[in-house]
Structure 1
Amino acid sequence: MTITTTDPGTTAATYTGTTRLVRGAAFEDGQLTTRFGTLRLKALPAGAEAALRALTEGDLDEAAISGLVVAGDGEAGLLRWQMLRGRLDAMGLLEHAVTGPDGAPLARLVAVGRGGTTLRPAPRGPARLSRHALLLPADGVLTLRAPGSPLAVELSAGAAEFLTRLTDWTERTPAPLLRLLATAGALNPGGPDADPETGRGAVQWDPVDLAFHARTRTPAAAPGYGGTYPHADRFPPEPAAAPAGGGPAVPLPVPDLDAIAAREPSLTEVLEGRTSTRAHDPEAPLTLAQLGELLYRTVRIRSTFTGSDGQELADRPMPSGGSVHELEVYPLVTNCAGLEPGLYRYAPDRHELQPVAAPGPATAPLVKEARDAAMMTGDPQVVLLVAARFGRVMWKYETVAYPLILKHVGVLYQTVYLVATAMGLAVCGLGGGDTTAFAAATGRDPLLEGSVGELVLGSRPPAQPEPSAVAGD
């Protein structure tokens, strides 16, 4: 498609639509091979074969493609070609591009997931970019994506002018470019009086949150989904338990689970009695034995085993997707009888605490943040900082890796809540934290191991007030 447009105050400009097969495609002996698999195309006429081979080599406009087909198959071959082309579009095997007046590429529609690339018509009247569209740098180009779409638009520097215009309603955009953006789901038609993104459903979503939600809950929008082992050829799997750190460890007593089971309330009583408690008893603080029992009953490694993929897996009291158990617990101690204040890491395979940092400027922000988040009048006796060794999950899982980690955090929260309630302890899960402060205190690379959750833990005061109405818990 070739379209000439004239903006007010400018000279006429010609924009041409072109097509090619997806990058890396090869056509040989009646077989079309792409990253999506192999498609067998038997008994193709000469003109259609010539067109397919040409489309594996580069972009062609409609006139050039038709010329190849007619040269080999005659005018009658065009109908069969259009049927084949529609099939390729429906399978997402074609890429559509727009070139500018200088012949340079302006934009390209590509499949980043599993979906068709059949072009939609350009909207009539004013249009603008979706408020949820995200512009991302990748492989030397800027890529525009809409949440949940299996398609993206790669943009060259020449497209910057049009993107700037499309931040507001405009009719000054070439139709071939509008078709690419509309097909990718990144364009809003209609004008300010008919904006489809003014409803509650669209307005309440932050673009980054919606992109995260759509990417992880729409398998077709991602190139890979689930246990695809995207990094198995680059890194070995991490061990189930992190290596021991420096400094003398603090051994923890092993609780008698049979005795505990005989005296504790039933699961129903624990569930009904569970609540968030934001006050601790300073006269009778949490003890080392209580902290050790809580950790033993919630996050210790009961055993390890090797999975069929060679990854060392673990068994803990709480579940974990694929048995990867990437979560680590760092008790940040302010007041615990029998234990010096400071930041520790719980070694779940050895049931001991390893010192990480003494109290000081690096740990103080973490204590203050937990105190403020829990709306406490004094420092919490212990903050359980929950961290994830991301590589444990990301070595195996693609697209769903981080949301899987967040699910595990929720599992850990509930497990800690129930055990702490059964033990008569005060516990309160927090809704946010600072991974930068965690990295400063631990020295961990935040891209390899970062904080993903926090709970405050302490002794329950003798006269506990009603749960806070603000928290609703």
Structure 2
Amino acid sequence: MTQTKVRLRRDAELAESDGSLRVSAPVGAFGLRDLPPGTVAALGALAAGDMTEAGLTAAVVEGDGEAGLLRWNMLLRRLARGGLLEYSVDGARLRPVGSGPLEPAAAPAPDTRVKLSRFAVATAEGGALVVRSPRHASVVELAPATAGILGALAGWTTPAELAEALPGLPVDQLLRYFDAAGLLTRTSEDEDQSHAQWTPRDLWQHAHSRGPRVTGRYGGTYPLGPDFGPLPAAPAAFDGPRIQLVPPDMELAAKSDPTLTETLERRRSVREHDPASPITVAQLGELLYRSMRRRDGFTAPDGQELVDRPYPSGGSIHELEVYPLVVSCQGIEPGLWHYDTAGHALERVAEPGPATQVLVRRARASALLEADPQVLLVVTARFGRVMWKYETIAYSLVLKHVGVLYQTLYLVGTAMNLAVCGLGGGDAGDFAAASGLDYLTEGSVGELVLGSKR
């Protein structure tokens, strides 16, 4: 019979201080005082690696006698309730990654219908398949020899059928681990709206950007800090022609703009442009200056260059860039341009061509325009700016920043009496083809169409 083993979770530490032991992990810590020698030895064995129940019992009895077993079992339950233990059988491991109690569940009855949750995700890590559920704080690691259970659980089955189909595998223990990690379902996950409305990718994004409990590492953990330096605040300049824009008169704008309340009430998504009088380079420049320009910059204690712009950004990182794709704008040749936020200038990225036309055509269809937009503002993110510092929440931060930039562009555009319309989606692959930028390094995350009002 396969033996279950237990150990302290791999990101926990056992340290001695002032005559007591302290167990610490990213999810918390607690101290242990006045422990007898057998218990200390057993804890040391748990910290060193996998141990069987018999091995732990022997360590406790040798140092404390059989009378020490009750205290030891109570301590072991305390560690389990704190989410500080991981469990393993040959070829599989149940491991906590977040906070909360973790103990293997009871095995389902032999005739119970079970299935792998449609929200489960498996990734290859360190030679094993790591299977996760978005709402649970633990994972199951499967060695190649046991990974076949995933395919067997793709459809409805029972433990009895699994044992027959997968001879030699510890099916009961595997199902206990899967159950404890929230990977099994006994009913259809599409029968009630609360589950049916979620796609796996959306639930994963929501749960892990809003749930430090299920991740362990969350927020400003600097996951890339040990291996890479932070990206500079500004991207490298493009080689194409450059247009220096004239800063607008901000005092005049402050006097002539409608009030914030009036602007909010007038704000609309305007999809019709005036073909007889296209937007001008001065108007485009003023919109970008008032919405996107770099007002100041400074270096943080962690060495990252930070920026101040008119809209807020988590950690003052400001990873967003704007690329005006000009179709019809007085004073600018058509093509794809990049806005230099520090120098208040436009840099030529690409001439008009089939790749840029795909972006225009998609934007026109998305906005339900009767003609091509005069300008398509493509918003990109330099992902490394955020992902160098933030873990789990990095991409959700990017999307939050896109939202506040949308609103800023909307309000400034409304105050300037321009036609602004944000789009709900775009194709990052199309932008990569048009710009020549690497999809994983800097990619499009938002689009707005812009023009003159009729």
TM-score by length of structure 1 reads 0.88
Partner of 1:114: 99
Check if 1:168 corresponds to 2:165: no
- d(CA) in 2 for partners of 1:208 and 1:318? 29
Deviation of the 1:91 alpha carbon: 2.3
- d(CA) in 1 for partners of 2:253 and 2:15? 70
Check if 1:138 corresponds to 2:135: no
Identify which of 370, 388, 391 aligns with 2:384.
391
Partner of 1:228: 221
Identify which of 185, 188, 191 aligns with 2:185.
188
Gaps of 5+ in 1: 1-13, 99-104, 462-473
Code of the residue aligned with 2:256 in structure 1: it is: R
Code of the residue aligned with 1:46 in structure 2: it is: P
Check if 1:31 corresponds to 2:9: no
Task: Evaluate the alpha carbon distance shift between residue 64 and residue 169 of structure 1 in structure 2; reply closer, same or farther with a 3 A threshold.
Answer: farther
Sequence identity, in percent? Answer: 53
Residues paired across the two proteins, number: 438
User: Does the residue aligned with 1:436 lie in a helix, a strand or coil?
Assistant: helix
Q: Deviations over 1:392-421 (max 9, x none)?
A: 112221211111110000001011111111
Asked if 1 retains the 8 angstrom alpha-carbon contact of 2:321 and 2:379, the reply is yes
TM-score by length of structure 2 reads 0.91
Code of the residue aligned with 2:217 in structure 1: it is: G
Gaps of 5+ in 2: 163-170
Task: Evaluate the alpha carbon distance shift between residue 25 and residue 239 of structure 1 in structure 2; reply closer, same or farther with a 3 A threshold.
Answer: closer
Asked if 1 retains the 8 angstrom alpha-carbon contact of 2:13 and 2:25, the reply is no
Asked if 2 retains the 8 angstrom alpha-carbon contact of 1:181 and 1:187, the reply is yes
Partner of 1:55: 46
Code of the residue aligned with 1:149 in structure 2: it is: H
Asked if 1 retains the 8 angstrom alpha-carbon contact of 2:118 and 2:189, the reply is no
- d(CA) in 2 for partners of 1:110 and 1:402? 25
Partner of 2:167: none
Check if 1:71 corresponds to 2:62: yes
Check if 1:366 corresponds to 2:359: yes
1:400-415 alignment runs, 5 A limit: 400-415=393-408
Asked if 2 retains the 8 angstrom alpha-carbon contact of 1:115 and 1:151, the reply is no
Partner of 1:467: none
User: Does the residue aligned with 1:227 lie in a helix, a strand or coil?
Assistant: coil
- d(CA) in 1 for partners of 2:350 and 2:188? 54
Deviation of the 1:72 alpha carbon: 3.2
Check if 1:202 corresponds to 2:172: no
Deviation of the 1:15 alpha carbon: 3.6
Deviation of the 1:25 alpha carbon: 5.7
- d(CA) in 1 for partners of 2:438 and 2:240? 20
Identify which of 240, 261, 267 aligns with 1:274.
267
Partner of 1:45: 36
- d(CA) in 2 for partners of 1:122 and 1:52? 27
Task: Evaluate the alpha carbon distance shift between residue 405 and residue 38 of structure 1 in structure 2; reply closer, same or farther with a 3 A threshold.
Answer: same
Asked if 2 retains the 8 angstrom alpha-carbon contact of 1:133 and 1:146, the reply is yes
Asked if 2 retains the 8 angstrom alpha-carbon contact of 1:383 and 1:456, the reply is yes
Deviation of the 1:306 alpha carbon: 2.2
- d(CA) in 1 for partners of 2:40 and 2:190? 44
RMSD: 2.0
Task: Evaluate the alpha carbon distance shift between residue 55 and residue 308 of structure 1 in structure 2; reply closer, same or farther with a 3 A threshold.
Answer: closer
Partner of 1:152: 139
Asked if 2 retains the 8 angstrom alpha-carbon contact of 1:229 and 1:396, the reply is yes
Code of the residue aligned with 1:118 in structure 2: it is: E
Q: Deviations over 1:342-369 (max 9, x none)?
A: 0000001111000000001221111111
User: Does the residue aligned with 2:145 lie in a helix, a strand or coil?
Assistant: helix
Task: Evaluate the alpha carbon distance shift between residue 38 and residue 441 of structure 1 in structure 2; reply closer, same or farther with a 3 A threshold.
Answer: same
Partner of 1:81: 72
Task: Evaluate the alpha carbon distance shift between residue 24 and residue 146 of structure 1 in structure 2; reply closer, same or farther with a 3 A threshold.
Answer: closer
